[in-house]
Structure 1
Amino acid sequence: MVRSPNSPSLYKQLSKVINHYWRQITILITVIILLSFFFPQGKTLLYSYQLNDVAQEEVVAPFNFPILKTSDQLQLDLEEALNSEPFLFLRSQDVVSKQIEVIDDYFKHINLIQLANIKLADSKDDLYRNRFTEQFDLARINVQSDSAALEVLMETVEENYNFAFNDEKWNQIFLSDYSNNSILDLDNLKKEIIQISRNRWAEGIYDIPISEILSKQVAIIMSSSEPAELTEAIRYNDIQDAWTKARMEVTNRFPNNINFSRDLGYSLIVEFMKPNLIYDRETTERRQQARQDRVPRNKGIILKNERILDANTRVTEDDLQKLFSLSVAIDNKAMQESSTDILLAYVGRILVIGIIVSFFFTFLLTYRKPIFDDWRMVLLIGLIFSIEVGLAFLIKQNLELSEYLIPIIVAAMVLTIMFDARIAFMGITSIILLVTILIGNNV
């Protein structure tokens, strides 16, 4: 056969097509590559079954692989490991000693304020008596000095003991005579408050809420030279329980309702009784993580050539977990393959997607050429394909929702409204094929 000298060569024909449709070709290649990222790798879809499905064929283990625990079972084991690790606390005697010193300092400060009030009252009386004498200026200076000293003490109360500042009952104590115990015996109150606090410290007070302690037992370190002591967590109190017990003890020690020692004493306990069981969060969390790391993720092993699932039988939950474990093992093994095998698998996935997508766009090029000639329309259709497959991946693979939520009908409606029914039919057919491959046996 002799070729006509005027007929263009195949190379020139391809060059002409590429030059004319380079935008459309670029869009199609981009869409195919984008869609390839939504599809699973390896042979996992071969073993995609639902509960009570009927197996289509026998499944035999191609190699040895472990049976993974279900997510719920693994979570229970991890929580059990977490709860079995005792929370570690350090019993701090320094806290007890420091708070007792703070209580002593507070009562000393009360005595200083009482003395300062008495001294200021005496200075004012002296100023009144000497208002017409030569000692008036000296008396006025003494009043100013005593008033400034009292102001400094009250500022210290506001800064360090804010709970007592502007409190009517404490102001009454500040203005009373320190030697007069008719209103309140401060020495006795201090002893009682220290004793009540010591009782709670002896029981032990957590510095975290007891509801946050997950373990049934806690480890208490008494000193650096002794090993931790394991006891029941409910044996000790958190700060709320300690306040409640202290309130009851204050009521028993000060039963007189007229005497306001109860209210003042309880306010002091709330302010100064600090937790003496200090939570070692860093060590506890490190030990919890180590214990969780030792929890086995597997519950058995399947040997090579062992039957996993027989043909024409219903799939049980145990079968599903074995198939899922096989899929994970296949994926892990695929990651260990050579770069050539990985590349070939990816190229195969590209070819499958490309063939399905080409069904529709070949139809456009043959029967709806004006639409294919407009690259904007091709871009719009490519976006519809990408969005539909992306939503299918999100709904089924990520969110694990029902496949009935995939908006297939929306894509058909959009294609029908914007083009015509034939284009919508061909387009939705290609989309359904892509989604079917994505979902596997779940359709």
Structure 2
Amino acid sequence: MTTTTTELSETTLLRFATAGSVDDGKSTLVGRLLHDSKSVLADQLEAVERASANRGQDGPDLALLTDGLRAEREQGITIDVAYRYFATPRRRFILADTPGHVQYTRNMVTGASTAELTVILVDARNGVVEQTRRHAAIAALLRVPHVVLAVNKMDLVDYREAVFAAIAEEFTAYATELGIPDVTAIPISALAGDNVVEPSATMDWYGGPTVLEHLETVPVSHDLAHCHARLPVQYVIRPQTAEHPDYRGYAGQIAAGSFRVGERVMVLPSGRTTTISGIDLLGKPVDVAWTTQSVTILLTDDIDVSRGDLIVPSKDAPQATQDIEATVCHVADQPLTVGHRVLLKHGTRTVKAIVKDIPSRLTLDDLSLHPHPEQLVANDIGRVKIRTAEPLPVDSYADSRRTGSFILIDPADGTTLTAGMVGDSFATPVPTHDDQADDDGWDF
């Protein structure tokens, strides 16, 4: 069925990510989803068929539709996050197929950071494993509102309902402890196509939706549009042309909420207030602009605004602070330690910072907290306290996933160390160490 441009403009958009352990069948599921929903171009399918034949396979290996890197094809694992765009008459989709290997858990954080739904795959033969729990914890940490548990390879356990029911019960109980609000369990065989796009003829005991049906009907809130308005300034535009000799605009992508001409706003961290005199969108003036649109805002008063500043409504301005408490997922090979000197990037602003304390690390098996671990290693989830060199206007991650998040960067080589979410999460802070003194210019 062909979807017209008019139909697409009237459908909603769902961003979702896949996750699961190595060999659970994520790439095959994505390939099956694209193939059976008629979202694969003929030349793409032909290329997959040729590559599969060269490897001695009888039919097309649908996993190759997403595993595009040579190393991925050679090793048979997903390494990079593969983004795919497709649509049905009911909805448009942006899909992030994330790696399952524990070494690449950091990529799952990237893929799920903007997702409204995460599909977590489980091999029906293995059940819930440590990586399953880690992916569920990350989904909870990132406050992904919807989770689908896809129990894959049901064909290898003779499509037994009892196997599916036991896995679904264990995972749902764990997800409930994490605070995940919505879990939908679906038994599938990505290889055979059972319950992916079409209902399974061999699992008549299951009466729920297929994966695609659930993706098409799950509520999409787009809650960013209802958050407090935030515009991180990326560029200051001064064309200085004869037509516009006094033009001065502040350009960036609206991170949350909406802005209107005539609205009173505040520029942070300076705290200066003014009024929006104009908004340019794609070179044309508009009266209102909202989340994810890239715009240029013009202000009534000539005040000092530069890259890294944040434009917010005067009535909804966040409190700037130098002391940040957050839940983090450490993604680098080098540990994050107490006293670690880092760069903290929040929106378009980057400042020096020090890790003052690591109050706790989350134990994935039983969700207990290991107090004062002194360091976090790759893939650890924990609580940190950070002191920044300059005040930052941060929101709570619970209020805004965009302006309540940050990353920590190694100042020596620019490596991303840690992804952080401001405020409380499922990890409860415990008493902290005494602050350690620094005498080298990093003690803020």
Interval of TM-score (by shorter of Structure 1 and Structure 2): under 0.3
Tell me the TM-score normalized by structure 2. Answer: 0.19
Q: Which of 1 and 2 has higher RCO (CA within 8 Å, sep 6+)?
A: 1
Q: Which has the higher helix share?
A: 1
